[in-house]
Chain A
Amino acid sequence: MGANDIDLILQQTVNAVALGGTYALLALGLAVVFSIMGLINFAHGELMTIAGYVLMYCGIAGVPFVLGVPLAVASAMLAAMAMERVAFRPVRNASGATLLVTSFAVAMILQVLFQNLISPRSQPVIVPDLLGHSITIGGLVIGVNKLFAIAATLVMLVALETFMTRQKHGIAMRAAAEDFAIARLMGIRANTVIAAAFALSGLLAGVAAVLWVSQRASVDPLMGFTPVLKAFIAAILGGLGSLRGAVAGGFVLGFIEVLLAAFLPSDWQEFREPIGLSLVVLMLVLRPNGLIPAATLQAQKA
């Protein structure tokens, strides 16, 4: 194996970390809400689309990208809280299936609104040229947007960890995730903690959306579908409801996808997706509750 091959492996590893990080943020967004109210929010992707459209409108209005990013993230947070208030609060105590169907309905309604009120076509988003550049470290060529993705993931993960372990609302959320009834008896308000969970998931969706949109430089009404699917797979792989599991699942999924695309023989490339998903299934056969199961999971182990 020559120096060139090692460079190639390192380079693909960087690609995998960047993609895995984005998946981790997405899966975390799903897991935060699931851990507290048992809802898999399939409208999570539409939060990303909203953030994407805000970035687009900022570009049209001439707002610099560095200001557009916090606006986009804030809009995703607000949209997540609005979604909870309008759609999920009325069905909060309903069965998991009802919650799931509600989230599908929210996603579809938003998609049709985007198609009819904004445009059925992709809209360009102005992304700074800097993000298209790359820097060379040793023999490695690393895209600036990859570095941003990795940095953003790290910052978010550290901030979330601090919030969850040190901060009052974070601790309340963990308590609610462990046992909602007891947490309420301890004086934690249900509305507050659920709204906070949605705000947090909106924040994660917003950051993921910025990374997602800056790669593709466009936003379209159906943009949210693929990321939420990947997030769902990653969250299941990691252990549904477990935050650390979601992060692990995201990174594992990112590594599987990039390494298969990079090193699978070309005749096999067409079967990349099924092979990747088979690996996920295999891991779930070995660890049915996910890589890092949620502490409160009632399911039987093996």
Chain B
Amino acid sequence: MRRILTATTALCLAALAAQADELKLGLATAQTGGLAPYDAPVVEGIHIAVDEINATGGIGGSIMIELNEKDVRSDTAQTSISVQELVDAGSEAIVLPCDADPSIAAAAIVDAAQVPAISTCASSPTLPLIGGDYVFANFPGDNVQATVSASWAFEQGMKSAFILYSPDSQYTTMPLYFADVMKALGGEILGEATYNIGQPDFSAVATQIAALDPVPDMVMTSAYEPDFPTFIKALRAAGYEGQIIGSDGIDSPTTFGLGNVAEGVVFTTAGHATAGSPLEAFNALYEEKTGSASETVFNAVGYDLVKVLEAAVMAAGSTEPKAIRDAMANLEDVQGATSLITYRGTTGMPVRQVSLIRVKGGERELVGQPSPNADLIPAPRMQ
């Protein structure tokens, strides 16, 4: 009898090991080109998390994560090609670039192959809606960020705004959500202007804003580098002295190195390393692994992504792609480096904490981590 027991136990263990000893994770991210500033740090965070998990024997101590990495060069067509290659190579989960547009281009492929895909840091709430059941995001949505910053500004007594946005990408239209929330709260939008990503000069619109009568209490934009520094310098040089509100795209060393012009800027981002927080622990781990301090929250966002996948594989109890997708859609309160992450009850846009940061003396100051009023969050804007 004992013999039979031993034999069956050994067989069971062998079967378990053979069935699920690795998770094939395909990375189709931009390591060169315009999205590289965001994807490259996220992938660094992914590596740190994967190494950490594999060092302990894999997910649940048994499923090693095997990475297959492709550079999509920030190109939409190349993203489709790379994702198709990854699917053909048997990837059981796929990571997409940090922008809704190339991610949407890959959505049809992952949907047909029934492989779950998660964008590194795209924040457009339209992504999982257009992308379908197999596409997930990994960042606080644009509409949520805008609700947090507009509600904060309104509470501070700032009620009139000017918005600057760009129709060039989904992300850069975040100020339109901000305007919706501001109006819903009873505030006023005194004007709006558009720009092109990479526009060399913002002095014309800055002059226009500074000459407005009455002067708006705040100017909101989701412009990021190099547009944001150019814009804010032009705006301050034109004599505008009101509040400037930005978003996660400016969570970068440049913003903190701008000196006087950026003093007092408030922006929303994915996390803040308060004492004792998981983000502080992650930053310490990052410094230990790479030898330099993490200069952006996008490193931690990559760590978050792998933690989400880990939790999904644990919950699914297998590495079968459809099972991972179903488990992922039901995840609740996964502890990432930046925040608790929940997908249950969403369309694939995670519920995560948003941090409001103020630039003060070249350092970051936490203004708050408020939970937005769900009734105020605008519906995703389909384009």
- Which A residues fall within an 8 A CB radius of B? 4, 8, 11-12, 15, 18-19, 22, 111-112, 115, 120-127, 129, 132-134, 141, 143-146, 212, 215-218, 220-223, 225-227, 230, 257-259, 261-262, 266, 269-270, 272-273
**Chain B, range 310-356, C-beta contacts under 8 Å to A:** none
What are 26 A-B contacts defined by CB distance under 8 Å? A15-B204, A15-B207, A19-B201, A120-B31, A121-B36, A121-B252, A124-B252, A126-B257, A126-B259, A129-B259, A132-B233, A132-B260, A134-B237, A146-B203, A212-B200, A216-B229, A218-B225, A218-B226, A220-B225, A220-B226, A222-B34, A223-B226, A227-B200, A270-B167, A272-B196, A273-B196
CA distance A255 to B233 in the complex (A): 20
Tell me if B236 is interfacial: C-beta within 8 Å of chain A.
Answer: yes
Please, what's the 1-or-0 string for B167-200, where 1 marks a CB less than 8 Å from any CB in chain A? 1000000000000000000000001111010101
Chain B residues in 8 Å Cβ range of A134: 236-239
Bound together, the chains give a CA A220 to CA B40 distance in angstroms of 14
With the chains together, A127 CA to B254 CA distance in Å? Answer: 11
Task: Return chain B residues, CB-CB under 8 Å to A4.
Answer: 211
Asked whether, in the complex, the Cβ of A215 is within 8 Å of the Cβ of B201, the reply is yes
The docked-state distance in angstroms from the alpha carbon of A225 to that of B36 is: 16
Using Cβ atoms and an 8 Å threshold, which residues of chain B touch A259?
Answer: 204
* A-B contacts besides A132-B233, A257-B204, A273-B196, 15 pairs, CB < 8 Å: A19-B201, A120-B36, A121-B41, A122-B252, A127-B259, A129-B259, A134-B239, A141-B210, A143-B237, A143-B238, A145-B233, A146-B203, A222-B33, A266-B192, A270-B194
How close is A249's CB to chain B, nearest CB, in angstroms? 15
Residue of A12, A122, A257, A258 contacting most chain B CB atoms (<10 Å): A122
Q: Taking CB as reference atom, which chain A residue is nearest B210?
A: A141
- Chain B residue, CB-CB nearest to A124: B257
- A115 adjacent to B254 (CB under 8 Å): no
Size bracket, chain B contacts: 35 or more
Residues of A within 8 A of B260 (CB): 129, 132
Q: Are A258 and B204 in contact (CB under 8 A)?
A: yes
Chain A residues contacting B40 (CB-CB under 8 Å) are 120-121
Determine the distance from Cα of A127 to Cα of B259 in the docked complex, in whole angstroms.
8
Separation of A270 and B173 alpha carbons in the complex (Å): 13
A7 CB to nearest B CB, Å? 8
Contact B253 A216 (CB under 8 A): no
Nearest chain B residue, comparing its CB with the CB of A128: B259
Contact B201 A258 (CB under 8 A): yes
Give the nearest-CB partner of B200 in chain A.
A226
B239 near A261: Cβ-Cβ < 8 Å? no
Asked whether A122 lies within 8 Å of B226 as measured between CB atoms, the reply is yes
A122 touches B225 (CB 8 A): yes
Residues of A within 8 A of B254 (CB): 122-124, 217-218
Whether A15 contacts B201 by the Cβ 8 Å rule is yes
Q: Are B203 and A15 in contact (CB under 8 A)?
A: yes
Minimum CB distance partner of A112 in chain B: B32
Write the nearest CB–CB distance from A53 to chain B, whole angstroms. 14
| B19 CB-CB contact with A under 8 Å | no
Separation of A79 and B260 alpha carbons in the complex (Å): 33
Q: Which residues of B contact A270 (CB under 8 A)?
A: 167, 194
Given the interface pairs A112-B32, A143-B238, A144-B237, the reply to whether A216 lies near B203 with Cβ below 8 Å is no
B296 at interface (Cβ–Cβ under 8 A)?
Answer: yes
Q: Give the interface centre of A143, A145, A216, A230 by most chain B CB atoms within 10 Å.
A: A216
Among all A-B residue pairs, the 6 with the closest Cβ atoms: A143-B237, A124-B257, A261-B204, A120-B36, A15-B203, A218-B254
Could you tell me which residues of chain B, from 197 to 240, have a CB within 8 Å of some CB in chain A?
198, 200-201, 203-205, 207-208, 210-211, 225-226, 229-230, 233-234, 236-239
Q: Mark B14-42, 1 if CB is under 8 A from A, else 0.
A: 00000000000000000111101100110
Q: How far is the CB of B216 from chain A (nearest CB, A)?
A: 15
Contact, CB under 8 Å: B198 / A226: yes
- The answer to the question of B261 belonging to the interface, with a C-beta cut-off of 8 Å to chain A, is yes
Whether A132 and B37, one on each chain, are in contact in the complex, defined by CB atoms closer than 8 angstroms, is no
Does B258 count as interface, using CB distance less than 8 angstroms? Answer: yes
Q: Does B207 contact A8, Cβ atoms closer than 8 Å?
A: yes
Q: Are A123 and B253 in contact (CB under 8 A)?
A: yes
Cα(A220)–Cα(B198), bound, Å:
12
* Min CB gap A55→B, angstroms: 12
Expressed in whole angstroms, the minimum distance between the Cβ of A88 and any Cβ of chain B is 24
Q: Assuming A217-B233, A273-B196, is B191 touching A266 (CB within 8 A)?
A: yes
Contact: A12 with B233, CB < 8 Å?
no
Closest Cβ of chain B: how far from A301's Cβ, in Å? 32
When the two chains form their complex, are residues A262 and B32 in contact, meaning their CB atoms are under 8 A apart? Answer: no
Complex contact B229–A218 (CB within 8 A):
yes
- Pairwise interchain contact B237-A262, C-beta atoms closer than 8 A: no
Contacts of A145 in B (CB 8 A): 233, 237
In the assembled complex, the CB of A258 is this many whole angstroms from the nearest CB of chain B, namely: 5
Contact A215 B238 (CB under 8 A): no
A257 near B201: Cβ-Cβ < 8 Å: yes
Q: How far is the CA of A19 from the CA of B234 in the complex (A)?
A: 12
CA distance A217 to B289 in the complex (A): 30
A223 to B200, CA, bound (A): 10
Alpha-carbon distance A220/B37, docked complex (angstroms):
9
Name the B residues within 8 Å of A272 (CB-CB): 194, 196
Cβ of B233 and Cβ of A19 under 8 Å apart? no
Q: Residue of B at shortest CB range from A226?
A: B198
The residue among B207, B238, B296 with the most chain A CB atoms within 10 A of its own CB is B207
CB A269 to nearest CB in B, in angstroms, measures 5
- Closest Cβ of chain A to B121, distance in Å, is 13
Given A19-B200, A122-B252: A215 and B211 within 8 A (CB)? no
In the bound complex, do residue A120 and residue B204 qualify as a contact, i.e. CB atoms below 8 Å apart?
A: no
Tell me, rounded to whole Å, the shortest Cβ–Cβ distance linking B74 to chain A.
9
Bound: A261/B231 CA distance, A: 13
**Across the interface, do B32 and A120 meet the contact criterion of CB distance under 8 Å?**
yes
Closest to B230 in A: A216
Residue of B196, B226, B236 near A216 (CB, 8 A) is: B226
B27-62 residues with Cβ-Cβ distance < 8 A to A are 31-34, 36-37, 40-41
A216 to B234, CA, bound (A): 9
User: Smallest CB–CB gap between A6 and chain B, Å?
Assistant: 12
Nearest chain B CB to A221 CB, angstrom units? 8
Contact A266 B41 (CB under 8 A): no
